[in-house]
Structure 1
Amino acid sequence: MINLKHITIANYATESGKTTSLNLSYQTFGKPLHTAPIILVNHALTGNSNVIGENGWWNDIIGENKCIDTNEYTILSFNILGNGYDNKAENIIENYKDFTARDIAKLFALAIEELKIQHLFAVIGGSVGGGIAWELAALKPRLIKHLIPIATDWKSTDWVIANCHIQDALLNNSSQPLVDARMHAMTLYRTPESLTQKFDRTKKDESFFNIESWLSYHGNALNDRFQVAAYKLMNQVLRTIDITRDRNDFLDVASKIESDIHIITINSDLFFKADENWNTFVELKGKKENVNIHEIKSIHGHDAFLIEFDQLARFLKPIFKAEVTSVKKKLEQQVA
């Protein structure tokens, strides 16, 4: 595993009251730690810390001279606990229901302290990664300058919880759990219009439609690279996003977050609905001025944040270019 580093969190007490020692793995890219503004990138459900480079899942957004420029920033990315990316069997979590999204955010916060990071320029993540970003901001309201949750929400809605419940049933009861759970999930990540545009009822052969072949391919591909225990834990994290649990109401919690909040939603997202994000924006804007919202226009649904790179870059560039310009001005002033 290229440049995979590890932090041990000893005697961690979960939200459910269990105490355990855990190993958190991570990668860094771009400038060395503590030499440039730090951006924490949270991966999605079946993703990992390999943000850029060979097999990097966000090469279109992050890299040299790209929207998030690795010549100017340090990129930090943790693997969500138990996702299996380190290929160490001892780090797989079987008791997945002991953990919540807030646990993952707490573990990230402890690792950030271990790395002696006192400030993050930005935290950005899509889907469950964005939910963890919300949880981290609620835990550490002064840590992050720019909070950028994409295709996500500060809570798992009833709709998200319902589909996670179905996923959990498939993962525990199916004879081919990863294949079946992944096929079901892929229909949530796209839209009917997206699938029509891609396949238009064409057939692979006399008895097999191309949409069926595509779903089977994604199911089998995940089966080859992922583990059931990892998927169960990721699904559990997804269903437990809620920055208000055992706290006050949303406005009270979110208004304490000092970060500039940049919500990025997708008009066709059938999983984390755009209406929920717009309601969050309107509600929070009444109490907190530095809240913004952008909407990706796409027929591709939830997965649009991994497809519509031009639109996403257009929303992100002002955030990251402004910091680079500011730093360069300060250096010029120091030289002068």
Structure 2
Amino acid sequence: MARDDDTLVQLLTPDGERVDRAVGPDGVEYSVDLTDAEYRGFYRDLVTVRRLDAEATALQRQGELGIWASLLGQEAAQVGSGRALRPQDMVFPTYREHGVLYCRGIDPIMPLSLFRGVDQGAWDPIETRCGMYTIVIGAQTLHATGYAMGIAMDGKVGGDDGEAAIAYFGDGATSQGDVNEAFIWSAVYTAPVVFFCQNNQYAISEPIERQTRVPLYQRAAGFGFPGVRVDGNDVLASYAVTRHALDHARSGQGPTLIEAYTYRMGAHTTSDDPSRYRPPAEAEAWRSRDPIARLAAFLGRQQIADETFFAEVDEQARTEAVRLRERVLTMPDPAPDSIFDNVYPHGSPLVDGERERFNAYRKSFEGSAH
């Protein structure tokens, strides 16, 4: 699977066999002890998130969204890490963390309204403890580091109510200066932050082999903090590793880099064609490691769930997707000049003038046949 499989933390094999415990390259022993209801909850999350993502892709293809960045294949990494968060933790996503947003209780319509161009991201970062989607590659790692430094300076580490920040990014972002600067600052200031890298094997069209000569998690050692590689298609391992890293951060022991080794089954975005740079056999090989099929096999083998449960989950996910589609299609268009709103918190004469000129330009077309 990976170039050095012995370092991969895995608690659920691709065939759905449970592994009681696994030792990571950081020397930590990872395990989970969940109830049957919690196992079923993970499965429900995975199926629902994938179904909503598929609906968003279909909406884009039909011209209802400007673009969409699918998470197909990365559901386990996002749901596992998302469920490991505590309410007080702060999330700094990229533009693909739809599963993390779902786990934070953010209405699925929110990222779709952003990609439809109706708003610039309408969820409240303070209320949801989740920042806005970040399009600039890697920039959110610095935001997370600065926020985490503030947590430490405010004395909000240690104890049961300790806080942490988590930054999500892809393997391609590790080549950005922002990410490496965030590593430096977080290490020097022992910032309570977790860097969660979803290594989906491609920085758009560039394979991981052209980005690094060593596994990404090993880079953490050069900055002075732990790094661990987890099977990103294993929701249980993703949960266990992220839970430990967040506890580590909240207790004041500083940052951790998690490399979730996974695969982007679809295109980088709906404007991408992966068949131009990715062999079909590669995607087919990864399909056998599907995170949902893996968990379903475990649930069935352990008699934690039956066919009735699986059918109910599928139907509930379908219903949610249909409802989401209806909400997108009935979403009102914003006023054209609303682009000038929220530029400054208390207004600006410069922006006010730009708005006036824009509206005058639009008005000049009134009554025109063209």
Name the TM tier (shorter chain).
Answer: under 0.3
TM-score, normalised to structure 2's length? 0.26
Q: Which has the higher strand share?
A: 1
Which has the higher Rg, Structure 1 or Structure 2? 2
Specify which structure has the higher proportion of helix. 2
Q: Which has the higher contact order (CA 8 A, sep 6+)?
A: 2
